[in-house]
Amino acid sequence: MKKNSIKNTRINGEVQRALAEIIRGGIKDPRISPLTSVVSVEVAPDLKTCKAWVSVLGDEEMQKDTLEGLKSAAGYIRNQLAKEINLRNTPELIFIMDQSIAYGVTMSKLIDEVNSGKKINEEK
């Protein structure tokens, strides 16, 4: 795996910031949850494609609807991205659902349950 160059890292950060802003305020699709965040972005070195990992706070149905809404609005989002960021090529957007935040919350709850169980057993 090739290490990202400084230029590519800057482009990733700028695209992530712009995507988050566009998704938060520019899309009127009711399927897209207001609790959607752009977790990470990876723009290809040739600027042709962009993988965007998004996280949605909510149930699985809400996540599925949001992903469908984002995919259907990809053309509009790409157009807004082109207006906001001056790149040689505006990348094609690929949205991927990121489960890491939900997984972290679940693991944290399980750890808390285990720790509270140990404390109860020690008191007896």
What's the pLDDT tens digit per position in 36-52?
Answer: 889 999 999 898 999 99
Q: Considering only CA atoms, which of 66, 74, 61, 67 is closest in space to residue 31?
A: 66
CA distance 111 to 36: 26
Residues of the chain with pLDDT under 50: 1
pLDDT at 2: 58
Q: pTM, whole model, 2 decimals?
A: 0.76
Which DSSP symbol is given to 77? H
**Does residue 36 sit in helix, strand or coil?**
strand
